[in-house]
Structure 1
Amino acid sequence: MTMIGNNLQAVQERIRRACEAAGRAPGSVRLLAVSKTFGPEAVREAAAAGQHAFGENYLQEGVAKIEALDAPPEPLRPRPEWHCIGPVQSNKTRLVAAHFDWLHSVDRLKIAQRLSEQRGAEQAPLQICLQVNIDGGPSKSGVAPDEVLALAREVALLPRLCLRGLMTIPEPQPDFEAQKQVHLRARALFDAVRAAGLPGADQFDTLSMGMTGDLEAAIHAGSTMVRVGTAIFGGRSYPAA
């Protein structure tokens, strides 16, 4: 097995153990492999090891990767499920609407409206998560917790979109218990929105929270999707600014 394959197996075991400790079924938590800064061959390697869903933070890099993996003579099959998990400016929504299956970072109605208008009628609905700044982190994007329900009501009515849940990226916390307490706030908000009776409420089923450093705490708090990059692909090298 390759290094990426071994790493995937280790992360899946972490998820399994966290689910067991929390009294949850392992299949209740999906793994999103965050492939930003890694090339198409790393995605191919992960896909060969059984990984299906991939997350990209940088829009243009992600689109180039998707196009490379869709191209002849060896398009990647089955086609991965592509998640955009980074911030999206309003002038870049067309790229998301054309190429991605999911977007986790909607925090304004304007972005959702543009995506709805630009998603092709021949495409499956774009799966949407609202990004919540759950702990008020000054450097983090996201809608304020007390504004989530109002935004969710608007987004749920838009055609060619499917509101699936919430996404959070809290500030780093010093230990498991502190991590869990922040994630529990997101879980309570998720439950409140799901109970509000929005259109399509039966599909509001995704709480995207937890990364390499805090996935166990996130799973204990109720995450249904963890976003893991470093523990799968290794350390990243970022180009100089």
Structure 2
Amino acid sequence: MPALFVSDLDGTLLQEDHSLAEETIAAIRKLHDSGRTFAIATGRHQTDVADLAKKIDRPIGMISSNGGMAMAPCGTVIASDYIDIAISSEIVHHPMPAGVFLNMYTDTRWFATETNPKLEAYSEKAGFKCELVAPQEIENMQAIKFFLWGDRAGLLTLQQELTEKYAGKLDCLFSLPHCLELMPTGVSKASALDALCQHLGLNEQQVVAFGDGENDIEMLRFVKFPKVMENAAESVKAALPNAEIIGHAHQLGVANYLTTKVLS
């Protein structure tokens, strides 16, 4: 019997406007009240995740920054990892293709080196403010992750460049078609989920995970019960040919699964 249910956010748990539907909140609360544990695993910053968690109004696990930080339901930080400062310094000065915007997360802050109207609008809505800075202002800061946002073709070129340059040091994976995530090699949602399982006295055989992006693949492979969203990238479906495909994220896919397959 699964005891832990873990879900990605954007493209999985959230609606098209990046909100938590009331049906989803109700399903998570009912899951918790039935004695199971729910956790979020996302590329978003911990500050952002904590704000969403308040709406659920139940203690949940929180894996943020693609595994860069993990918190137990009680609020204890159980894992945190950072990119080497020498590499971070090089990344912030790396030339970006036209239409690609560099963003950096630290433990508590979000920095960008250029204005991006779409991310600015998201920042305003989320209440987690993006700070515009010059590269030299953040070159010596401890980064929990970078994410590069924008033109898909430019991001694919960057993915190849950075993967080759930082082989064995950085993992470069897409969380969304227009968002490339840079993490220390070996740090992922899966590694953070492993830490959460150990903290809770569970193992991967007791875990259900939901995801849609390339940065979810390791997590989905780690657990016994992987659930891939109908809207997932084809590369994700191909990487997990035996995983169950459930509903579309924007049609309450996770909430419907919990309600009909777990809580009924």
Same fold (TM over 0.5): no
Alignment TM-score, normalising by the size of structure 2: 0.33
- Per residue, is there more strand in 1 or in 2? 2
Alignment TM-score, normalising by the size of structure 1: 0.35
